[in-house]
Amino acid sequence: MESIALVIVLLAALMIPLVMARLHITNIPTAVAEIIVGIVLGPSLLGIVQTNTTLNQLSSLGVIVLIFLSGMEIDFSLFRRQKRPDNQPGPVSVALLSYASVIVMALLASELLKITGLFGHPIFATIIFSTVALGVVIAALKEKELLSKPFGQTMLLIAALGEVVPLLALTIYSALVHPTDKSIWLLLLIFLVAIILLLRFRRPYQWFAQIDKSTTQLDIRLAFFLIVTLVAVAAQVGAESILGAFLAGIVMKLLHPREETQNKLTSIGYGFFIPIFFIMTGVRINLRTLLADPASWQLIPLLLVGFLLAKVLLWPILRRRFQPRNAIAGAFLISTTITLVVPAVSVGRNLGIVTSQQAGAFTLAAVITCLGAPILFNTLYVKEKEDYQKTVVHFIGANILTVPIAQQLTKGLYDITLYTDDTTRYKTYNSEANVQFLDEFTAEKLTAAHAFQADIVVLGYFDHDKNYQLAQWAIAAQVPRVIARFENKDIQSDEYDQLTAQGVEIFNTLEANISLLRALIESPATVRILSDTTAGIYEIVVRNRRFTGLAIKNLPFIDQITISQIYRDHEFVAPHGDTQIQLGDHIIFTGAKDAVGEIRRQVERLN
């Protein structure tokens, strides 16, 4: 009978997305549909699926894989504070203030719930009310292509906090409610193990990528090794297994896996383990028993109010940065919760503070938020005024080399500023380009002038020693790309080699002239393309996941360009019509200049 039940669950997991696609159901998360189907299959209605050992074990693996993938979704680079030249608050400050309000209101809602006498554990309820379904939020933001926008980054940060903070709080609360002979401070051992694994395995992972093949799948083996190791460590120190799984996901993320690796892990998780977990969550909910108990069905609307009340202050906080309508939409989106509620309720049942009826009430209230909140978000959200984010290029040094280049870069695609410490050059060029004057170039003054807050910093001085010092300051400021002019390669100086080793892109007149002369001899037509005013050679980076897996011949703009090379994983790939585009590909192509802007907006848009 166990095998029959498993077949039914797997058949349901297969049919749910097919039926949703057939009926054009797009506003309901698949996880919610799986829970509903589980309720139908379980003792609540049909009663054809019952819990058994096999399904329970697969369900436990499902929640571990789900939390692991949630850890991999967090982009910690978003938490870095960035100085903003305008007066608007950045995503980090807005997100931190927003989530602080969520915790305060969740505590208030929990105290009000305690007053009703229907649930007497306010700290546990606070943890539940402060959770956010990170996966659902990411899916909603991706659908509207908002992840690269300030609104999307803010929502993502709030959702990440809504998964990290409650998870840690749940582990600490579990250790306090159910004390063991192991100190709660041993939880730090998990973090120590994570750091050790990160330091030990970062370089081997890069090696794995070189020697991996279809019959070994070293990246997947490493992922499951991390999961099992950190889950085991969590169990040994008295923590919850989901904390170990979450930390394993974070460690895997910090190892910078290939996009292919994350896609394979996602396929394994959402293709097998996770659907079983959500379906079995619905099976464990017995609506007949739940609705037969007046206290239980009275608890459901109160819990739903608690989930919404915990996020009510998000609206005035988000309104400071975004349109009022989008602030409301964002508050509803953050009210979505299911991912952490289900495992948290399981922990509560194990601790003896949550009954089966209360567990069902918590789960149903969370399901209702997942049904309504994404729909309300999609209905209310309107586009903000923020347009395509231009590539910010800062030239340090205004002269006959940098000013013409700044003038000739494709208009509409770049935000260009030149900095100079020469009053004569400032007076000469400030009417021809956006030039800022600084009385002297020091790390402090350049930082205060936001000179290093750019995607690309070009160091155009003829003095290579000056460019070397500027490059060191730019590297310390973590500028993504630094381009430096370096005319003199003194064999007694290692500055040239140091800059190259640090990732600085170096150019000099001699090498440029040699390359140009060789091109004129060997490929004169190419030089004409480079100097043409209506066409040119361009490079774009694929960041839009909509193009991932798409064959070149099926690109919507392929009739406007000619792709000559694809730079992928530090190697050039000769393209043909069936070559599939991958995330992070550098596409080198020729085409009309007036078409480049729209193509770049499509391909480089994060979603």
Whole-angstrom Cα distance, residue 42 to residue 63?
19
Q: Measured between alpha carbons, how far is 460 from 398 in angstroms, rounded to an integer?
A: 7
Give the pLDDT band of residue 102 (cuts 50, 70, 90). Answer: very high
Weakest mean pLDDT among 31-45, 63-77, 541-555, 563-577: 63-77
Band (15; pLDDT cuts 50, 70, 90) = very high
Say which CATH architecture domain 523-603 belongs to: 2-Layer Sandwich (3.30)
More confident: 201 or 147: 147
What is the per-residue pLDDT for 465? 82
To which residue do tokens 């998000």 refer? Answer: 314
Residue 85 has pLDDT above 50, yes or no: no
> pTM for the full model?
0.66
So what's the pLDDT on residue 19?
92
Interstrand relation of 586-592 and 535-541 (parallel, antiparallel or unpaired): antiparallel
pLDDT at 312: 93
Q: How high is the pLDDT of residue 186?
A: 59
Q: 391-514: which CATH number, 3.60.40.10, 3.40.50.850, 3.20.20.70, 3.40.50.720?
A: 3.40.50.720
pLDDT for residue 383 = 78
Q: How far is CA 429 from CA 83, 422, 426, 460, 519, in A?
A: 27, 11, 5, 15, 32
Q: How confident is the model at residue 239 (pLDDT cuts 50, 70, 90)?
A: low
Q: What is the mean pLDDT of the chain?
A: 81
Taking 50 as the threshold, does the pLDDT of residue 10 lie above it?
yes
- Structure tokens of 258? 């290939």
The Cα 35–Cα 276 span in angstroms is 10
**Residue 351, Cβ density class (10 Å: 0-12 exposed, 13-18 middle, ≥19 buried):** middle
- Predicted local distance difference test score (pLDDT) of residue 336: 87
Q: Residue 564 pLDDT > 50, yes or no?
A: yes
Question: Which residue in 134, 163, 233 sits closest to 191, CA to CA?
Answer: 233
* Among 108-122, 399-413, 436-450, the least confident range: 399-413
Task: Break the chain into its structural domains and give their ranges.
Answer: 2-380, 391-514, 523-603
CA–CA gap between residue 368 and residue 304 (Å, rounded): 8
Q: For residues 376 and 373, what is the distance between their CA atoms, to the nearest angstrom?
A: 5
Question: Per residue in 132-154, pLDDT tens?
Answer: 987 778 777 877 778 767 888 88
Distant-in-sequence, close-in-space partners of 13: CB < 8 Å, separation ≥ 6: 34, 272, 275, 276, 279
- How much of the chain, in percent, has pLDDT values that exceed 70? 84
Mean pLDDT on 398-420: 82
- Residue 517: which residues within 8 A CB-CB, separation 6 or more? none
**DSSP string of 259-314, one letter each residue:** HHHHHHHHHHIIIIIHHHHHHHHHHH--HHHHHHSHHHHHHHHHHHHHHHHTTTTH
Least trusted range by pLDDT, from 146-155, 263-272, 277-286, 316-325: 146-155
pLDDT at 387 over 50: no
CATH code at 2-380: 1.20.1530.20
Q: 183 versus 434: which is more confidently predicted? A: 434
pLDDT at 16 over 80: yes
Q: Is the pLDDT of residue 466 over 90?
A: no
